[in-house]
Structure 1
Amino acid sequence: MVQQGSAEATELAQQREVAAGNELEHFIPFRKRAVITMCAEELPEQERESFREFATILASVLHHRFHARIEAIKDAYHVLDPPPDLKRIAEPAWQDRVRAQQALEEELVELAERANFTRVTEEELKRAFDEESLIKVRLEVDREDIDTAMFFRRGSFERERKVKSWMGLRRRTIAFRSYAKVIVYVTFRDPEHFADRDADDLPFTPGSTMVKLFENVPRHDIEMLFPNVRVGMRPIDKMMIGVPALISGIIVVVTKLIASLGVLLLLIAFWLGIRDEAVELDQATLVTIGAGLAAFGGYLVRQFNKFKNRKIQFMKALSENLYFRNLDNEIGVFHHLLDIAEEAEVKEAVLAYHFLRLAPGPITAEELDQRIEDWFAQRWNTRFDFEVRDGLRKLRELDLIDEHDGRVSALELDDAKRRLDERWDKVFDYNTVG
């Protein structure tokens, strides 16, 4: 028993190493309020409230910038896919739809980057199709029906699950990677592409755009998020249906159909002129033929129902996985993404300002990056790739830093708050009176 447990532990450790990978994400796995609190607690008691005030007005300024973006996104989405309870004042022209589609895709890519999402590559998608799914179904996607497909992921973490093996006689623990959040953006080809197919049989509308947000998606199962995914049969599933069907079919033929089969062959031979002697069809012969055909027909119906029920089970498993992982859809995804991106911007700006202010003098961007990453690794046991350029960009735009010869320093806290307050006062400057 000790040796068996040791072997399983070794196997699990190896799976963890394979699953973990070496990639560090830009995502900071703490809430905005938590980051502000973590930084404030590093300061002397008399500075903490002032620092929190700085973070509050900084967040307000950045929030106003994102508010303008969501209005632009809502305008573009209304052109492409208006909600059923809102009317258009005019039907958009084809050129308007093209511009709206392009604007939506550009916003999605930029917001995903600002929110520290990573674009899923074709190699990752191919690997997901090639590797065995955790939900034990074979998934198929017709990529020819899709015009544009973009996947973005964020928050990779390790999970464990007990799975059955050896026909359910043994259970073992496997380790795998899951993505905390996955965004799916898909546009389907125009109706002309589906001219030879019945539109009612399609699970989507030709020419439509679909945007969805999922959570806790296993890396091996990311292909199940395609909106036109179909359930197929794995070789083992075909064997589980085919082998029993073959055995029971042989039994039916031998026990029920063979007597009828002989009479039927003689009848066919007589009708084709191969046999000269006529076959006498008395009541007993007709009963034998009828019983044999009924038994064989019943066998075919049972096998078809088994196949259909098996496929229904697979579709149910897929639907349940998607249902419990779905977070948001369509325009709601952009609202969700904007909130995440805004929070990421605030966290990066607050951290960059805080560590510049604590530095003994002007430092380089590389030194700032290292200080922040080391602090999280040592103080909070968390590793990620801090977006130092992005953090400095926001502070530069808000005029909160001084730069000389490639070295950066932060304004004093009171000066930084005053500049942010002046910028906030000018957000709506409609007073034209001299």
Structure 2
Amino acid sequence: MAVYENREAFIPYRRTDIIKLCLQDGQLNAADAEKFQDFCQILSAYYHFRFHKTLEIIKDNYVPFNPNGDVQPLTQPTFDQYDEMESKVVDAFNHILERANYILLPESIVQQALGNKSLIDLKTDVDFEDFEHFCCYSQGDIDTKISLKKFFFWQEEKTINILERIVLLIKFKEAAYFRAKKVKIENLNFTPGKIYVYFYKNIPKLDIDLLFPNVVTSMTWKDRLLFGIPAIGAAVPLVLKALPNLLLLITAILLVFNASSLVESLDVEQDKIRNVMPILVATLSLGIALGGFAFKQYTNYKNKKIKFQKDVTDTLFFKNLANNASVFQMLIDIAEEEECKEIILVYYHLLTSPTPLNPKQLDSRIETWMERKLGIRINFDIHGPLNNLEDIRGKVITNAEQADIAPEMPLLTYDNEGFCHVLPLEDARAVIDYVWDNAFLYNGIAF
């Protein structure tokens, strides 16, 4: 099978649209078209059942890790049960993301974001040692042009790399770890020991670091200079203006310690030194001047910090799709759709192909067909749907006497030359109907 580095396996159309596209292809007569719709309907119900079971596993095991949980278990899990429940949540997360045709992002990509900036010009730091587990998946890696406002009315056009969808799972270490770091638990933006799951859209790849709850932001050197240089410029005339009062105050202090020689070197009028009021006025004036300047600079710093926080909030708030438990609900639905679309496409093209196809030929046929019909280029994941069709096994029963003696058969088989063959529509519909009807009989069928 051809592998395309710039293509993804995700199919950006609904399952119902793919079924409609197959029916409009003109390869099936009216009777077969109806059978094909029946097959797709039962197949979708079967996979809905399978993924619903995965969702129930996640819900049962996510309870002690949910930072927004509103239910409590009847009994607290033991340490062994706690670790097992954690593993089940993480394993299920990876399973459904792979089924949803999302791509695992290596930690190096996230680390790269720490040293680069895209839309928000902030210095960031993320301590990956805080994490017990960290997984990041994405879908849709594209370049887009945006206009950034620069000085006054001037705008700069910039090309940035966007991840159309990004999902993060973060399991923080327990509270004892953060106490050992001398960190106050109540000051953290997260709860130690919990699993946080985030689902975002259209995030610049170089701004991934801003998604982490433990991200620490600070001003860049450019912002520090823009903040510091005007402060120094404003401080110089203030110091020069306050210098006489400052000298008077220093002279008074030296007199208290009997440092007469140093007092003479400062060349301050003796009358002013012996009079208490000028010294008090000088002290008060100096305190007000320096205190007012310090307060003004602190206010400017706080306003700058608030502006940074607003930039981050504005960037992320409207791009958030779901958090924590609700993420699993959305991902299950996406994975279910992807699984069904792939199987339907594989079955349809094997059914309608005038000649037998091996996996490589089938993969190429589907990719070409999708490009011709929809104008999209995908790297179709051929092995997953082939394995699923081969694993779905059932009986074709035409009368009651055959119920016990009829053999189970898979929807897909391979011949000696490696070509793929699927059951005809009548039998395929019967097999998937048999599997669905026997889903709750505990007869050894694995789901």
Say yes or no: TM over 0.5: yes
How far apart in 2 are the matches of 1:131 and 1:430? 55
1:25-174 aligned at under 5 Å gives the runs: 25-43=8-26, 44-46=28-30, 47-81=32-66, 84-165=69-150, 167-174=151-158
Alpha-carbon shift at residue 84 of structure 1 (Å)? 5.0
Q: What are structure 2's unaligned runs of at least 5 residues?
A: 264-269, 393-409
The verdict on how the C-alpha distance between 1:199 and 1:430 changes in structure 2, with shifts beyond 3 A counting, is closer
Which amino acid in structure 2 is aligned with residue 293 of structure 1? G
Structure (1 or 2) with the larger CA radius of gyration = 2
Q: CA shift at 1:187, angstroms? A: 1.2
TM-score for the superposition, normalised by structure 1: 0.89
1:24 is aligned to 7
Residue 420 in structure 1 maps to residue 420 in structure 2 = no
Write the letter of the residue equivalent to 2:38: E
Q: Equivalent residues in 2 for 1:176-325 (5 A)?
A: 176-195=160-179, 196-255=182-241, 257-276=242-261, 279-325=273-319
Alpha-carbon distance in structure 2 between the residues aligned to 1:389 and 1:329? 31
RMSD after superposition: 2.0
Deviation, 1:92, is: 1.2
Structure 2 Cα separation of the partners of residues 290 and 89 of structure 1:
66
1:335-354 aligned at under 5 Å gives the runs: 335-354=329-348
Query: Residues 359, 273 of structure 1: CA spacing in aligned structure 2 closer, same or farther, 3 A cutoff?
Result: farther
Q: How far did 1:282 drift?
A: 4.1
- Do the aligned partners of residues 83 and 235 (structure 1) sit closer, same or farther apart at CA in structure 2, a change above 3 Å counting? closer
Answering whether residue 390 of structure 2 is matched by residue 404 of structure 1, we say no
Equivalent-residue separation in structure 2 for 1:289 and 1:78 (angstroms) = 62
Task: Give, as a single letter, the amino acid of the residue that structure 2 aligns with 1:96.
Answer: Q
Q: Cα deviations across residues 50-83 of structure 1 (Å, max 9, x unaligned)?
A: 3222211111111111111111111111243386
**What is the one-letter code of the residue matched to 1:60?**
A
Separation (CA, whole Å) in 1 of partners of 2:256 and 2:200? 64
Residue 82 to residue 129, structure 1, CA distance change in 2 (3 Å)? closer
- Contact residue 65 and residue 193 of structure 2 kept, 8 A: no
Q: Does the CA contact (< 8 Å) of 2:8 and 2:140 recur in 1? A: yes
Paired residue secondary structure (2:318): helix
| Mapped contact 1:231–1:311 kept (Cα < 8 A) | no
1:273 Cα offset (Å): 4.1
Give the AA of the match of 1:412: P
Q: Could you tell me which residue of structure 2 aligns to residue 331 of structure 1?
A: 325
Q: Which amino acid aligns with 2:212?
A: F
What SS does structure 2 have at the residue aligned with 1:203? coil
1:179 match: secondary structure: strand
Are the counterparts in 1 of residues 66 and 196 from structure 2 also a CA contact under 8 Å? no
Where 1:151 maps in the other structure, the secondary structure is strand
Question: What is the letter of the counterpart of residue 27 of structure 1?
Answer: F
Verify the 8 A CA contact 1:361 1:409 in the aligned structure 2.
Answer: no
Equivalent pair of 1:356/1:410 in contact (CA under 8 Å): yes
Deviations 1:338-370 (A, max 9, x none): 111111100000011111112122211000000
Query: Aligned equivalents of 1:85 and 1:120: distance in 2?
Result: 31
Give the secondary structure class of the aligned counterpart of 1:89: coil
**Whole-Å Cα distance in 2 between the matches of residues 414 and 394 of structure 1?**
19
Q: Distance in 2 between matches of 1:413 and 1:300?
A: 81
Distance 1:141 1:430, change over 3 A: closer
Task: Name the SS for the 1:302 alignment partner.
Answer: helix
* Distance in 1 (alpha carbons) for counterparts of 2:127 and 2:99: 31
Q: Which residue identity does 1:30 align to in structure 2?
A: Y
Q: Which moved more, 1:135-144 or 1:235-244?
A: 135-144
What is the percent sequence identity of the aligned residues?
Answer: 29
Contact kept in structure 1, 2:67 and 2:194, CA below 8 Å: no
Distance change in 2, residues 1:168/1:230 (3 Å): farther
Q: What's the CA shift for 1:281?
A: 3.5
Report the Cα distance in structure 2 between the residues aligned to 1:137 and 1:82, rounded to whole angstroms: 28
CA distance in 2, matches of 1:79, 1:238: 43
Q: Which amino acid aligns with 2:6?
A: E
- The one-letter code of the counterpart of 1:391 is P
Q: Secondary structure at the match of 2:208?
A: helix
- 1:160-182, CA deviations, whole angstroms, 9 ceiling, x for partnerless residues? 221023x3452022122222221
Post-superposition offset of 1:105 = 0.8
TM-aligned CA deviation for residue 129 of structure 1: 1.4
The residue identity in structure 2 corresponding to 1:124 is: I
Deviating more after overlay: 135-144 vs 103-112: 135-144
Change beyond 3 A, Cα 1:22–1:68: closer
In the alignment, which residue of structure 2 is the partner of 1:379?
373
**Gaps spanning 5+ residues in structure 1: where?**
1-20
Q: Which amino acid aligns with 2:230?
A: P
Indicate if the aligned counterparts of 1:213 and 1:326 stay in contact, CA closer than 8 A.
yes
